[in-house]
Chain A
Amino acid sequence: MLSFDFEYYRPDTIEEAAEIYKELKRMEKQPLYFSGGTEVVSVARKGVLKFNALIDLKNIKEMRDYVPNEEEIYFGANMTLNEVTEQESFLLLSRVVETIADHTVRNRITLGGNICGRLGYREAVLPFLLVDAEVCIAGAEGVKTLSMEAAFDKRLMLSSGEFVTGFKVRKSGSSLDGISIRKVRTTDVDYPLLHIASMKDERGIKLAISGLCPYPFRAKALEQYLNDVEGSDWDIKGIYKLLPAAVKDDHIASSEYRKTVFEKNIEKLMRKWGEA
């Protein structure tokens, strides 16, 4: 059990959830939106996260929907990661999320929860960063749809009272082939030292990366460099200046170790695309 008391609300609609949040804030409470709950429960148990009201979004139907149609695919933010792996319309997304945590926990972790989580990995966002996805964000003013590129900078930029309801991708982008390379230090069930998601279209190779730096990112400068140079005629040590942040150095791995893993796997990725 958790060590502190809080109120619990389970709204049935997006509007009701936003209204409850607004009302709780008016009462000077500390509300927190809640979906799969795996991170909230484990972090709150350690006393790292405090709140005095939880707003559980699981009952909101449109946040559980998966709607593939001719033009685009909609993924509700409350789809569990295992539900996402069962869909076949965006295969790179399936491949990326099936490596997060373990199978049992993926029955609870949600797509929105992973992307909005406190941990800096947020791996589920990688495929969305590659396909110019859109994110649907609800708040007191209703639901707005933004491009992922505009809404995601290190993390999803949500204002107070806002929450993610779903993600949209165009079918033309999601149907492209993709490669997911995930490297961990020891066992399969671990945080990634490196997770690269990659796609290729007529403009060239696209890359999104988690685990290497403190936050996930679309590596546009690196993409341009790799697409411009001929064959393997590229300066592997020079690629770090093309990253948006320094390579992480922490208790899981030193930056030198991470760089070695990164260099080997960028080469592997380029070979794979060369063969494709």
Chain B
Amino acid sequence: MILDVNGEKKKVIVSPKDTLLYVLREKLGFTGAKPGCENGDCGACTILLDGKPVKSCLILAVEVEGHSITTIEGLRDTPIQKAFIEESAFQCGYCTPGFIMNCHAMLNTHPDADDKIIREWLSSNLCRCTGYEEIEKAVKRAQNHINVV
């Protein structure tokens, strides 16, 4: 099958039992999406499917042919990436790609997201280092940047 990943067509042989997370990491080398709980709880494997954040551990690769996939490798110098660095919004960094993908999608959908929307969207991701304060600051910094531009 052919998968559209980060704007490029990737030919790959998959089995129906392969999750999208497994194919991205093990067959295509996009290791930014992380295996965490592999049960849809932690959000470390979050990618964008047609621009919407989804947990790639809960999706079979065969389901997404013909859809646009964006992984953390597909983002370059986005406001949220810069803001994560400026606010030191990570400690061990394992959850960071998932958080960034979710934040990026949220800011695309709701550039003026209020606290309620931020909390609602980001409750999809867990940080075991509990660095939530800095992540929230990073989101707000990225919002300011987007709104100034």
Contacts and interface: CB of A to CB of B under 8 A. Distances in A.
A232 interface: no
Contacts of B124: 102-105, 189
B102 interface: yes
A118 interface: no
A58 B63 contact: yes
Interface stretch (A36-44, A165-173, A238-246): A36-44
A29 B124 CA distance: 36
Given A56-B63, A103-B121, A188-B123, A42 B17 contact: no
B62 A8 contact: yes
Interface residues of B, number: 29
Interface residues of A, number: 28
A195 to B, nearest CB: 17
A61 to B, nearest CB: 15
A270 B106 CA distance: 37
Nearest to A8: B16
B141 interface: no
A151 interface: no
Interface stretch (B2-10, B35-43, B75-83): B35-43
B123 A189 contact: yes
Contact of B38 (A3, A45, A102, A105): A45
Contacts of B58: 37-38, 41-42, 105, 108
B60 A41 contact: yes
Interface in A18-46: 37-38, 41-42, 45
B72 interface: no
Interface string B30-63: 0000000011110100100100111101111011
B19 A104 contact: no
Contact of A104 (B15, B55, B62, B63): B55
Interface string A1-20: 11111111010000000000
Interface in A91-112: 101-105, 107-108
Contacts, number: 77
A86 to B, nearest CB: 11
A41 B59 contact: yes
Interface string A62-82: 000000000000000000001
Contacts of B86: none
Contacts of B73: none
Contacts of B22: 1
Question: 5 closest Cβ contacts across the A-B interface?
Answer: A104-B124, A8-B16, A102-B124, A2-B17, A1-B22
13 contacts: A2-B17, A5-B16, A6-B16, A8-B16, A8-B60, A42-B40, A102-B123, A102-B124, A103-B120, A104-B55, A105-B124, A108-B58, A108-B59
Interface of A: 1-8, 10, 37-38, 41-42, 45, 54, 56, 58, 82, 101-105, 107-108, 187-189
